[in-house]
Amino acid sequence: MASAARPRGPLIWVHGASVGEIVSVLPLIERLAGRGYGILLTSGTLTSSRIAARRAHPSVIHQFMPLDAHRFVGRFLDHWKPDLVLLAESELWPNLMSELGRRNTPLVLVNGRLSRRSAERWAHLPKSARALLSRVDLCLAQSRDDAARFKALGAPRVEVVGNLKFDAPAPPADAKSLDRMSVECGNRPIFLAASTHPGEDEIVLAAHQRLAQEIPDLLTIIAPRHPERGTDVRLLAEAAHLAAVQRSEGYLPDGGTEIYVADTIGELGLFYRLAPVVFMGGSLVRHGGQNPIEPAKLGAVALHGPHVWNFGSIYARLDERHGAALVQNDGDIAQCVSALLFDGHLHAQTAATARQVVDQLGGALDRTLSAIEPYLLHIRLAR
């Protein structure tokens, strides 16, 4: 249940389910750790634990989230004795929340998000939803729509503070790896498909085949959302008679490589810096889309499919301002990539608009810290 001792002094427990949530709370953790608070960071996936190990403040202790059963939650809390618990986005665990309430440990939902689909499911269980959300001392919602859904389901205190993802720094890239990849790629045009899901790789490969007719030296990089799918993606490319290699096997792209499978962890920052145009995965299949903020901060133009409800308000703002492009199929992808690669002015204008939209939506970090300040003050006084 614990692989480290509890540090002395006040301890704040921050939980993010997977990579996206962990990345979004890292700036918040940095600020809290800088003020002398001990931080326990939990997550639920191996990938997120690796990201935390690489990018979190050195004083942070990472553990995996306990199973949501009374015996495990109780033992976990007995060991760590957190003074404040911050759950990211939509992490609602009935047994954990019940036990925190019994121990009078304050619970705040940060970067709160509740999709329309999730809200509709909870609406069929109104008593359960109200009982669960009543245990949240403060809900800090990403948007007005999220706030309205939380309130409708019974959250007693809700504030709109914005999305922490806008304040997260651009994902890093190892300088040596970036230099080496830049040398290997030379002046080749590059297109990136980031965080793809099953069913999308075939579409990206078909788009590459269309593009190769007018851009024969095009290098398409496919970074599957789950790196363990790397071999499957390579085999799909080879079945389409495309020359493909995998980064996880130590390969770099050479002049004959058409598809480069980036099946590694924590390197999207590297590939966003290489590719001027990025298709954001999870959006042509019904997954809900991936975060477009990171490529926007690095000057890459994002293409996305229609299924982007996880980041709906962000994509809506980007599309409205022509800072991103909606695609439905391989033909749309090929058309957009071609236009953006050949027209430097169009690319620069679109990328600048996307960056402007992202910058204008920042500020959630300061608002979040301001909202939780009363809890931080209570911790200091209690100690």
User: Hey, which residues are catalytic here?
Assistant: 21
4-29 per-residue burial string, b: 16 or more CB within 10 A, e: under 16: eeeeeebbbbbbbbbbbbbbbbbbbb
Q: Which tokens go with 51?
A: 């990201």
For residue 140, the cross-strand partners are 159
Q: Are the C-beta atoms of 201 and 233 separated by less than 8 Å?
A: yes
- Among 333, 242, 335, 316, which Cα is nearest to 280's? 333
Q: 74: phi > 0 → left, psi -120 to 50 → alpha, else beta; which? A: alpha
Helix 116-123 × helix 144-152 angle, to 10°: 10
Computed on alpha carbons and rounded to an integer, the radius of gyration of the chain in Å comes to: 22
Q: Are the C-beta atoms of 193 and 221 separated by less than 8 Å?
A: yes
Q: Quote the CA–CA distance of 170 and 29 in Å, as a whole number.
A: 16
Contacts of 359 (CB under 8 A, 6+ apart): none
* Amino acid identity at 151: K
Longest dimension (CA), the chain: 69
Tell me the H-state helices in the chain.
Answer: 19-34, 46-55, 70-80, 94-102, 116-123, 126-133, 144-152, 175-185, 201-212, 230-239, 268-274, 293-297, 312-320, 330-342, 344-360, 364-382
Q: Are the C-beta atoms of 227 and 264 separated by less than 8 Å?
A: yes
